[in-house]
Chains A and B, each alone.
Chain A
Amino acid sequence: MSKELVKFLSDLQEQEALEFVGKALEKGVDPVDLLGETKEAMNIVGQRFATGEYFIPDLIFSGEILKQIVQMLEPHLKKGKEAERLGKVIVGTVAGDIHDIGKDLVVFMLDVSGFEVLDLGIDVPVQKFVDSIKETGSSVVALSGFLTLAFQNMKNTVDAVKAAGLRDKVKIMIGGGQIDNEVKIFTGADAYGKDAMEAVKLAKGWIGGR
């Protein structure tokens, strides 16, 4: 493999990447190999974001290109062979808050970093987090919130996890524009991250992985 796709995708060259995938599929290249290249490319994107070379628009646009590539590959991929995942992370924007951009970035970066992500969406009731922990046995929960109103609902969520007897089974991270150490202490969460790559780093530290 020439790794051309790795370069095109990680450099955000949309046209080149899509044309390359189209031609490769015509030539009979194994779609699993192409998928492997996209993963490698997304790792590079994540690294570049972590080191400050890439910014949020780059992440969003890489996701946009990736989505199109996956759509092209999907009909050619055999079903059922899901790659092994590092572990499961539950993510959601807490009750009362409908903001999703930050949350979606965290979901996206966790996903491309090899985690299985259960995205509960926005305005997630406290009980839904608790039920999801019980159902999935996930050991990492990420609470998102943009509003100051979210501080209290993050705390309520952490408290509910505690009341359900699950607090020592999960690690909880929080994130959002107004989140800092002061808020972390208030909510009783284990950690906070200032961006999506910090969420990945925290999850890796708690679950394991490269």
Chain B
Amino acid sequence: MEKKMSAAEKREARFQTWISAQGVQFQSPEAEATYKAAIMRLKDAVQMEKVPDRVPVLLLATFMPPYLYGVTPYEAMYDTDKLLFAHKRFLMDYRPDFSLGPALMGAGKIFEILDYKQYRWPGHGIPETSGYQCVEGEYMLAEDYQVLIDDPSDFWVRTWMPRVFGALEPLKNLSSFTDMWEIVVVSLQMIAFGIPPVQSALKALMDAGNEAMAFIQKIMGFEMEVRGMGFPASIGGAAKAPFDIIADTLRGTRGMMIDMYRQPDMVLKAVERLTPIAIKQGVGGATMNGNPIVFIPLHKGADGFMSDEQFKKFYWPTLKALILGLVDTGCVPFLFCEGSYNTRLNYLKELPKGSCFWIFDRTDMAKAKKTIGDKICIGGNVPSGLILTGTAEKVKAYCKDLIDVAGKGGGYIMAFGTAMDEGKAETVHAMVDFTKEYGVYK
């Protein structure tokens, strides 16, 4: 039956699921009204069929809530109660329209057990006062493309995971799972699981799994509670642009940039191979969480990170396919576009009206409004520098300009331009409060 529904109908059904808030115990009728109004506000801003009641406020506050309540990033990653305390207080005191899941901060213990090498986290290679940071590296080698293309999951399990997680290094001894067919080979395929180092790796996975269960139980308790307080979650699922999966996760920035010259065909085959996998991940998360918003953080396609020709060839086709694939299932892609996208705006015109939203960082918002404002919802652009070093007055003036220009006629979401690891009470309050007051559409 689902096959007969149009993309718009599927989206409507997903919004209805989200707004129905199954299993949520609302603390008061007001909380329920606030929850539903927030979703309707975002829906109207994104779909652009009618002007929302006011500009939605969606804050990508990562380690900011802990920071504002004296909880260090180290404590936030090692003491889930403190993490959740800070996020809850932040919602109560600042009252943005949506909650950003504290699950994104992760649990330090899990990374320790796995001996995670691609990131450093507070207390592990970087100060306890810093949020986690990526370690650039070639976790996939230039000659690995064909192996990745042949079987991405196999590459992940037997090559990438052993390189990225010290505790999982022995998994490189496994044979490919697809080698397991009839009875004559099954017994032999089990041999690798009897190797003591492989068993240690499996034990590490189980230990990490136990930590993850303890972590997610607390997180889910928090999620249901804050929904009951009137704050819908801002993210249902997550996916990455296929080019970024390779450039961020596998090859590293430098490696991927050089590949565009030395082995362009392999890069193209690989991004195409990963596209349906990325769509599946995004849809899966959105469906599981009953929330249509699929978060897609964009990195290596920003202005300056490649030429227009390279963007057109290597980055955009599979990003577009990812967006369209998600839209087709009724999901709402939330493109989180760090850096600037001034030279890419024309490409965004190719996307269906009212299908997704783009939170920009350094993009010229007047230009964005002019170029795509008639069909695509835009947002963001409040600079981190202004929030952390500016005054309430300056922030209000900046937000006023954004609402006047980018928010004209709807289709705008107030947001930071980047994920915020720190904050300043005065300026964050000014941003939220001013938007709630001045951002009302009359």
- Interface positions, chain B 239-298, Cβ under 8 Å from A, are 253-254, 257-258, 260-262
Q: Are A101 and B262 in contact (CB under 8 A)?
A: no
> Which of chain B's residues have a CB closer than 8 A to the CB of A57?
257-258, 260-261, 305-307, 310
Chain A interface size range: 20 to 34
Q: How far is the CB of B362 from chain A (nearest CB, A)?
A: 8
| Interface flag for B421 (CB, 8 Å) | yes
- Interface positions, chain A 42-71, Cβ under 8 Å from B, are 54-58, 60-61, 64
Q: A12-B261, A148-B384, A182-B386 are in contact. Are A101 and B306 (CB under 8 A)?
A: no
> Which of chain A's residues have a CB closer than 8 A to the CB of B127?
95-96
| Interface flag for B209 (CB, 8 Å) | no
Q: How far is the CB of B82 from chain A (nearest CB, A)?
A: 19
Q: Which of A101, A183, A186 contacts B136 (CB 8 A)?
A: A101
Q: Across the interface, name the chain B residue whose C-beta is closest to A55.
A: B307
| Interface flag for B388 (CB, 8 Å) | yes
> Which of chain B's residues have a CB closer than 8 A to the CB of A5?
none
Q: Which of A95, A148, A177 contacts B422 (CB 8 A)?
A: A148
Q: A101-B253, A178-B383, A179-B385 are in contact. Are A96 and B261 (CB under 8 A)?
A: no
Interface string of B416-429 (1 = CB under 8 A from A): 00101110000000
Q: Are A178 and B389 in contact (CB under 8 A)?
A: no
Q: Are B130 and A149 in contact (CB under 8 A)?
A: yes
Q: How far is the CB of A8 from chain B (nearest CB, A)?
A: 13
Q: Are B418 and A178 in contact (CB under 8 A)?
A: yes
| Interface flag for A115 (CB, 8 Å) | no
Q: Which of A55, A99, A183, A195 contacts B385 (CB 8 A)?
A: A183
> Which of chain B's residues have a CB closer than 8 A to the CB of A97?
130, 133
Q: Are A186 and B389 in contact (CB under 8 A)?
A: yes
Interface string of A177-202 (1 = CB under 8 A from B): 11110110110000000010000000
Q: Is the interface of A mostly helix, strand, loop or mixed?
A: loop
Interface string of A159-172 (1 = CB under 8 A from B): 00000000000000
Q: Which of A12, A64, A96, A99 contacts B129 (CB 8 A)?
A: A96
Q: Across the interface, name the chain B residue whose C-beta is closest to A59.
A: B257
Q: Are B304 and A56 in contact (CB under 8 A)?
A: yes
> Which of chain A's residues have a CB closer than 8 A to the CB of B133?
97-99, 147
> Which of chain B's residues have a CB closer than 8 A to the CB of A185?
389
- Supply 18 further A-B pairs (C-beta < 8 A) apart from A55-B305, A101-B253, A180-B383: A14-B261, A56-B257, A56-B306, A60-B258, A61-B257, A61-B261, A64-B258, A97-B130, A98-B125, A98-B133, A148-B384, A148-B385, A148-B421, A148-B422, A151-B385, A182-B386, A182-B389, A185-B389
Query: What is the bound-complex CA distance between A209 and B418, given in angstroms?
Result: 37
Question: Chain B CB within 10 Å — which of A57, A64, A95, A195 has the most?
Answer: A57
Chain B interface residue count, Cβ-Cβ cutoff 8 angstroms = 35
Interface string of B368-397 (1 = CB under 8 A from A): 000000000000000111101110000000
> Which of chain B's residues have a CB closer than 8 A to the CB of A60?
254, 257-258
Report the tally of A-B residue pairs with Cβ distances under 8 A. 88
Q: A98-B126, A180-B385 are in contact. Are A148 and B420 (CB under 8 A)?
A: yes
Q: How far is the CB of A198 from chain B (nearest CB, A)?
A: 12
Question: Chain A CB within 10 Å — which of B386, B389, B421 has the most?
Answer: B389
| Interface flag for A100 (CB, 8 Å) | yes
- Interface positions, chain B 116-136, Cβ under 8 Å from A, are 120, 125-127, 129-131, 133, 135-136
| Interface flag for A123 (CB, 8 Å) | yes
> Which of chain A's residues have a CB closer than 8 A to the CB of B421?
147-149
| Interface flag for B339 (CB, 8 Å) | yes
Query: What is the bound-complex CA distance between A58 and B257, given in angstroms?
Result: 8
| Interface flag for B338 (CB, 8 Å) | yes
Q: Across the interface, name the chain A residue whose C-beta is closest to B307.
A: A55
Cβ contacts A to B, 15 pairs, < 8 Å? A57-B305, A60-B258, A98-B125, A98-B135, A101-B254, A123-B126, A147-B421, A148-B388, A148-B420, A148-B421, A149-B131, A177-B339, A182-B385, A183-B389, A185-B389
> Which of chain B's residues have a CB closer than 8 A to the CB of A96?
126-127, 129-130
Q: How far is the CB of A154 from chain B (nearest CB, A)?
A: 11
Q: Are A100 and B136 in contact (CB under 8 A)?
A: yes
- Interface positions, chain B 350-380, Cβ under 8 Å from A, are none
* In the complex, the 9 A-B pairs of residues with the closest C-beta atoms, listed nearest first: A186-B389, A57-B257, A183-B385, A182-B385, A60-B257, A178-B384, A148-B384, A55-B307, A96-B130
> Which of chain B's residues have a CB closer than 8 A to the CB of A98?
120, 125-126, 133, 135
Interface string of A72-110 (1 = CB under 8 A from B): 000000000000000000000001111111000000000
Question: Chain A CB within 10 Å — which of B129, B130, B386, B421 has the most?
Answer: B130
Q: How far is the CB of A63 from chain B (nearest CB, A)?
A: 9
Q: How far is the CB of B163 from chain A (nearest CB, A)?
A: 19
Query: What is the bound-complex CA distance between A123 and B129, given in angstroms?
Result: 13
Interface string of A92-135 (1 = CB under 8 A from B): 00011111110000000000000000000001000000000000
Interface string of B153-165 (1 = CB under 8 A from A): 0000000000000
> Which of chain B's residues have a CB closer than 8 A to the CB of A99?
133
Q: How far is the CB of A98 from chain B (nearest CB, A)?
A: 5
Query: What is the bound-complex CA distance between A123 and B133, given in angstroms?
Result: 12
Q: How far is the CB of A192 from chain B (nearest CB, A)?
A: 10
Query: What is the bound-complex CA distance between A81 and B241, given in angstroms?
Result: 49
Q: Are B261 and A55 in contact (CB under 8 A)?
A: no
Query: What is the bound-complex CA distance between A99 and B120, given in angstroms?
Result: 11
Q: Are A149 and B422 in contact (CB under 8 A)?
A: yes
Q: Are B258 and A58 in contact (CB under 8 A)?
A: no
Q: Across the interface, name the chain B residue whose C-beta is closest to A151.
A: B388
> Which of chain B's residues have a CB closer than 8 A to the CB of A95?
127
Q: How far is the CB of B178 from chain A (nearest CB, A)?
A: 35
Q: Are A55 and B253 in contact (CB under 8 A)?
A: no
